Amino acid sequence: MNNFSIQVVGIVAGCITSISMIPQLIKLIKAKEAKQISVFMIILLIIGISFWIFYGFLKKDLPIVVTNSFSFLINLLTLVFTLKYKRLNK
């Protein structure tokens, strides 16, 4: 497999992983209810993604940095809305 093919696989994998939380975020915003969502899990996920971004910078691997930065943003929004709706529904 050549370097371009490897980059394409990395980009596709990163994009799929990054968009995986979008349905949860949409459901959360529509329902305005977050009882079933674990704040601890989201925080751990954000920490892990942060390390992936740092790793991408160290490796100078743009697909890792870009896709994980997008994933970081989606998960940060999920955390913000989860905290907001948990407070509102108490």
5-60 confidence digits (pLDDT tens): 988 898 899 899 989 999 999 999 999 999 899 999 999 999 999 999 999 999 99
* CA dihedral for 4, 19, 71, 42, sign (positive or negative): negative
Tokens of 15: 């994009």
Rg, the chain, Cα only: 15
- Residue that has been written with the tokens 């998960």 in this structure: 75
List CB contacts of 81: < 8 A, sequence separation 6 or more: 25, 28, 29, 34
Q: 3-88, what's its fold?
A: Monooxygenase (1.20.1280)
Note the pTM of the prediction, 2 decimals: 0.89
Domain range summary for the chain, segments of one domain joined by + = 3-88
